[in-house]
Amino acid sequence: MAGINIKSVTKHFGAVQVLNDIDLTIERGEFVVFLGGSGCGKSTLLRMIAGLESITRGEIWIGGRRVDQLPPGERGVSMVFQSYALYPHMTVRDNMSFGLRNIKTPKAEIDKRIEAAAKILEMPHLLDRKPSALSGGQRQRVAIGRAIVREPDVFLFDEPLSNLDAGLRTRTRVELAQLHERLGATMVFVTHDQVEAMTLADRIVLMNNKKIEQVATPVEIYTRPATRYVAQFVGSPGMNFVAVANVEETGGFATAVLPDGSRIKTSIPLNGVAGSELTLGIRPEYLVATAPEQGDISGTVETVERLGDRSLVHVRLKDGSKIIGTDPGMSTISAGTPIAFVVDGRKLTIFDQNDVAHHAVN
Ligand SMILES: Nc1ncnc2c1ncn2[C@@H]1O[C@H](COP(=O)(O)OP(=O)(O)OP(=O)(O)O)[C@@H](O)[C@H]1O
Ligand SMILES: [Mg+2]
C-alpha cells in the first residue's frame, strides 16, 4: 500500500498540451476515481503514474519514492485495462502467473498467490479453463487477478468495466468495491461513467480542459459542485440551469427573481453572489410537481417520463426555457397541461458570471 503524489505535472504530445500543472495527493488505501469527458486526459494521467507515458514537467511520487523516471516494472503498480488482453492459448492459471514467472518468482510462491487471488475473486473453479470458455465478466476478473498476484502497492484501472453488459457491469462494480475493502489497497480508477465514480470513489477527481476541476467526495461533488461544469457532469438527469434576472435580499439570503417575475427564496448568503449573468442551479429532485398557481415556478408540461419509482416532468417555462422536475411514482400528469413546481430553497446553487458556484449555508 502506498500513497501517490503528483506535483505540478504537465504533459505535451508534441506541440499539443493535454495536461496543465496537475497537483494531486492520493492517500494510502484510498479509492480515487478520475472522472471527465472524453479526451480530458484521464488515461494519460493514469498512464503517467504507471510509467507507460513520460511526463513533460513535474514529479510523481509513490510511497515516498520519486518514480517519474523509473520504468513501469519498478514503480510497484499494476494496471488493468478496458481490453483485458488475455493470452488465448493459456489457461487462467497461466495467464495469471505469466508475469511472475517472467521475474523468476519461485513456483510455490506463485501457486500460493494464485490460490489466494482466485479465492478473493471467487474463481478457483475457473483456473484451468482457457479464456474462450469464460464470460466477459470472468475474463475481466482474470485480468484483475493478474494484477492482484503481483501484490502491487497501487492498482490502476482504465475503464475496466466498459466492455461488459449492463448487468455484469453492475455486479463487477460491486465486486471491485468489495475487493478494495478486502485488500485495503490504493486504487486509481478511470471512467467517464458518473455512476461508477459516485459508487466506487472515496474521492472523485473531476477533470476538464487539461485541469482538475474539483477533488472531493462523491457527496460533496453532487451537493456542492465547485463549478457549473462539475454540476452538469454528475446527476442524471442533470441539474437545471435557470436564468436569473436579478437577486433580492431576504434576511441576508439571496432571493432569485426569474425573468417571468417569479421569486425563489434560497439559503445562499447574498454576500458575494451579486452581479449580472447569474444562473440558478436546481436538481430535478428539488422541483416537485404541484397544482398550477401553487408552486414557485410554473410552465407547461411537454413530456412525462414514468420511471416507476418516480416520474420526470419536462416543463417549458414562459420565457421558453426548459426544466425537468419530478412527481412521485407513476405520474398522472399529462403533456400540454399547466403545472407548477415547489422548489426546495435549501438545496439550490447560484452560479456567477465565471460559472463559480455559490452554495447554501449548511
Ligand atoms: N499518443 C498520443 N499522441 C498525441 N495525442 C494524444 C496521444 N494520446 C492521447 N492524446 C490526446 O491527449 C488527450 C487526452 O487523451 P486521453 O486518452 O488521456 O483522454 P481520456 O480522458 O482518457 O479520454 P477517453 O474518455 O476518451 O478515454 C486527447 O486529446 C488525445 O487525443
Ligand atoms: Mg481514456
283-304: per-residue pLDDT in tens?
A: 999 999 999 989 999 999 999 9
CA of 13 to the centre of ligand 1 (A): 9
**What is the model's pLDDT at position 205?**
98
CA of 210 to the centre of ligand 1 (A): 11
**What is the model's pLDDT at position 339?**
97
Neighbouring CB atoms inside 10 A of 269's CB total 15
Contact between residue 253 and residue 270 where contact means Cβ atoms under 8 Å apart? yes
Q: Which residue has a Cα nearest atom 26 of ligand 1? A: 38
Cite the beta strand spans of 194-286 per DSSP E.
Answer: 203-208, 211-216, 240-243, 246-250, 253-257, 263-269, 279-282
Pairwise CA distance, residues 157 & 149, whole Å: 15
Q: Mutation test of ligand 1: which of 42, 159, 210 has the most ligand atoms closer than 8 Å to its C-beta? A: 42
Q: Which residue has a Cα nearest atom 9 of ligand 1? A: 44
Neighbouring CB atoms inside 10 A of 10's CB total 15
Q: What average pLDDT does the segment 48-70 reach?
A: 96
Pairwise CA distance, residues 62 & 51, whole Å: 12
Q: Which residue has the higher pLDDT, 21 or 122?
A: 21
What ligand has the least distance to the C-alpha of 44?
1
Q: Which residue has a Cα nearest atom 2 of ligand 1? A: 13
CA of 181 to the centre of ligand 1 (A): 31
Q: Which residue has a Cα nearest atom 30 of ligand 1? A: 39
Pairwise CA distance, residues 201 & 357, whole Å: 22
SS3 state at 187: strand
Q: What average pLDDT does the segment 220-233 reach?
A: 96
Q: Which residue has the higher pLDDT, 122 or 105?
A: 105
Least reliable range by pLDDT among 6-10, 61-65, 177-181, 273-277: 273-277
Q: Which residue has a Cα nearest atom 28 of ligand 1? A: 39
Q: What share of the chain in percent tops pLDDT 90?
A: 78
Ligand 1 site: residues with CB under 6 angstroms? Answer: 13, 18, 36, 38-44, 192
Query: CA 181, 184, 187 angle in degrees (round to 5)?
Result: 95
What ligand has the least distance to the C-alpha of 208?
1
Nearest ligand 1 atom to alpha carbon 53: 1
pTM of the model: 0.91
Q: Report the side by side order of strands in the sheet with 349-351.
A: 240-243, 279-282, 349-351, 357-359
Nearest ligand 1 atom to alpha carbon 190: 22
Produce one character per residue of 34-71: b if its CB has 16 or more CB atoms within 10 Å, e if not: bbbeeebbbbbbbbbbbbbbebeebebbbbeeebbeee
Beta-carbon contacts of 308 under 8 Å, excluding residues fewer than 6 positions away, are: 330
Residue 4, Ramachandran bin (φ over 0: left; ψ between -120 and 50: alpha; else beta)? beta
Pairwise CA distance, residues 25 & 21, whole Å: 13
pLDDT, the chain, mean: 93
What ligand has the least distance to the C-alpha of 54?
1
Nearest ligand 1 atom to alpha carbon 13: 4
CA of 41 to the centre of ligand 1 (A): 6
Check whether 140 has a pLDDT greater than 90.
no
pLDDT per position as a tens digit, 172-220: 888 889 889 988 999 999 999 999 999 999 999 999 999 999 999 999 9
| Overall fold of domain 240-359 | OB fold (Dihydrolipoamide Acetyltransferase, E2P) (2.40.50)
**Is residue 167 very low, low, confident or very high in pLDDT (cuts 50, 70, 90)?**
confident
Q: What average pLDDT does the segment 140-161 reach?
A: 91
**What is the model's pLDDT at position 273?**
82
Beta-carbon contacts of 173 under 8 Å, excluding residues fewer than 6 positions away, are: 161, 196, 199, 200
- Portions of the chain given CATH number 2.40.50.100: 240-359
Q: Which of 326, 328, 349 is nearest to 339 (CA)?
A: 326
Main-chain dihedrals φ then ψ at residue 205, nearest 5 degrees = -105, 105
Q: Which residue has a Cα nearest atom 27 of ligand 1? A: 38
Q: Which residue has a Cα nearest atom 14 of ligand 1? A: 41
Residue pointed to by grid coordinates 441539474 = 239
CA of 188 to the centre of ligand 1 (A): 18
Check whether 84 has a pLDDT greater than 80.
no
Which helix (H) or strand (E) element contains residue 142? helix 136-148
Neighbouring CB atoms inside 10 A of 114's CB total 22
- Portions of the chain given CATH number 3.40.50.300: 4-233
**Is residue 151 very low, low, confident or very high in pLDDT (cuts 50, 70, 90)?**
confident
- Provide the CATH number for the domain formed by 4-233 in this structure: 3.40.50.300
Nearest ligand 1 atom to alpha carbon 11: 12
Nearest ligand 1 atom to alpha carbon 42: 21
Residue pointed to by grid coordinates 510509467 = 51
Nearest ligand 1 atom to alpha carbon 14: 4
Q: Mutation test of ligand 1: which of 10, 12, 13 has the most ligand atoms closer than 8 Å to its C-beta? A: 13
**What would you measure as the largest C-alpha separation in the chain, in angstroms?**
77
